[in-house]
Amino acid sequence: MAEEVSNVIEKAVQELGPLDYVESRSSRDLSVVHVYIKRTTDASRLPQIWDELRRKVNDNQRKLPPGAGPSLVNDDFGDTYGVYLALTSDGYSYRELYEVAKFLQRELLKVQDVKRIILYGQQPEAIYVEMRRDKMAQLGISPHQIYSALSAKNVVAAAGNLTIGGERIPPQPDRRIHQREGVRRPAHPRGWGRLRPPGLSAGRGRYRT
């Protein structure tokens, strides 16, 4: 990895004018190359330097061995993070805190010289389907059939175009499952209408752990 990938990328970036030095770290299936620019370089030139770096890296992709994925240039290291804010609260859910965090993010981005705000610590939500084995045995339904029924419902399909007043408008029907009720009443896998609680399945919203 070091000779076939890291060395190729290092040689490509050696031609950068304001380059200070290069460091690389190679493992069996990963190569990470750190490019350091001279501290005396004007900050206003950094976007142009990163663009030049991308071009040089892209121009040398053909020199990489077969199977090597495309190189990614991450220039976020040039950003400076000066402030960390934490949101805590008793009595509010993670979703409510996340909505407040997104509001603060939008408002703070309006402040002069604030370039980027990254949110950390979001608690992803999930809907868990719990099935009663006795009810499934009574109806002759397997877990795989329930999974197939939910997968068929949670899909986005093309719906053609509508012509209104000489304009073509593509409708976008959304059959994705957004709420627990969509999981609680899936279509019966054998075409017997819809399954209704209590009984076969229950969609419960919880935070992932």
Higher pLDDT, 172 or 42: 42
Q: How confident is the model at residue 192 (pLDDT cuts 50, 70, 90)?
A: very low
The whole-number pLDDT of residue 101 equals 93
Judge if pTM exceeds 0.75.
Answer: no
Q: What is the pLDDT of residues 11-69, one digit of tens each?
A: 888 888 888 998 888 877 788 888 888 888 887 888 888 899 888 888 888 888 887 87
Query: Would you say 170 and 189 are in contact if contact means Cβ atoms under 8 Å apart?
Result: no
Exposed/middle/buried for residue 186 (C-beta within 10 Å: 0-12, 13-18, 19+): buried
Question: Which CATH code, of 3.40.1260.10, 3.30.2090.10, 3.40.50.720, 3.40.109.10, is assigned to 125-207?
Answer: 3.30.2090.10
Please report, for residues 31, 90, 108, 142, the alpha-carbon distance to residue 87 in angstroms, rounded to integers and kept in the order given.
Answer: 36, 11, 15, 44
Q: What is the pLDDT of residues 175-184, one digit of tens each?
A: 555 555 555 5
The token pair that represents 49 in the structure block: 């330097």
Identify the architecture of domain 2-78 in CATH. 2-Layer Sandwich (3.30)
Q: How confident is the model at residue 100 (pLDDT cuts 50, 70, 90)?
A: very high
* Domains in the chain: boundaries: 2-78, 79-123, 125-207
Name residues whose C-beta falls within 8 Å of residue 21's C-beta, 6 or more positions apart in sequence.
36
Q: Estimate to the nearest angstrom the gap between the alpha carbon of 192 and the chain centroid.
A: 37
Residue 96 has pLDDT above 70, yes or no: yes
